[in-house]
Amino acid sequence: MSLTLHYHPLPSFCWKSLIALYENATPFTPNNVDLTDPAERAALRALWPIGRFPVLRDEARGETVPESSVIIEYLDRHYPGTVRFLPDDPDQALATRLRDRFLDLYVHLQVQKIVGDRLRPAERKDPHGLAEARAQVHSSYAILDRQLAHGGWMMGERFSLADCAAAPSLFYGNKVEPIGADHRHLAAYFERLKARPSFTRVLVEAEPYFGFFPSEG
């Protein structure tokens, strides 16, 4: 099999790539990396010196592809399926990439800051940074709610790169900052996402690891 995804079932950015692979039933070999194992950590760094996942290795093309958004665009270009994650129209593709970046930067990474603060010892917590992250998440929810008033998927009728980004962002976001009834369009969209078979599969595979997600602290 040409493609190998080096990943772990719990981290949110890994979900983003998995959803794209599952959407088109793209054949790949999953390599579940244990970063607590020195040998496995070294092997990942040999592929991608930053040492973070997901990382896609394509033996057929001799390519190593890090970063979830780039992985999805790589799949769309070189292993296309029924679901195309970026539209052919350049302006629409740019709008899709922008929505992807918005979700990653203003929801996803802010949620990671909130979760990261939970993992810090009491003397190293960052109340100011935590408050900023929470405020950014709620502001982003409001913007997304307005953009989703049309119903459907993140960019309209077609499932896209932006929906792959939204699924983990909103799942973990809802755990730390619930979406709530005041963002009804976003809440309805999140329910549609959870019912999508590709995302359902990701959640089922991650479930054994949910105990590692830090509770409020």
Model confidence pLDDT, tens digit, residues 76-115:
999 999 999 999 999 999 999 999 999 999 999 999 999 8
Q: Tokens representing 16?
A: 């983003």
Strand order in 63-66's β-sheet? 29-32, 3-7, 55-58, 63-66
What per-residue confidence (pLDDT) applies to 211? 86
Long-range pairs for 45-54 at CB < 8 Å and ≥24 separation? 47/6, 53/6, 53/7, 53/8, 53/11, 53/13, 53/14, 54/5, 54/6, 54/7, 54/13, 54/14, 54/16, 54/17, 54/18
What per-residue confidence (pLDDT) applies to 215? 66
What per-residue confidence (pLDDT) applies to 121? 85
pTM of this structure? 0.94
Intervals of the chain under pLDDT 50: none
φ, ψ of residue 56 in degrees (nearest 5): -100, 130
What per-residue confidence (pLDDT) applies to 217? 53
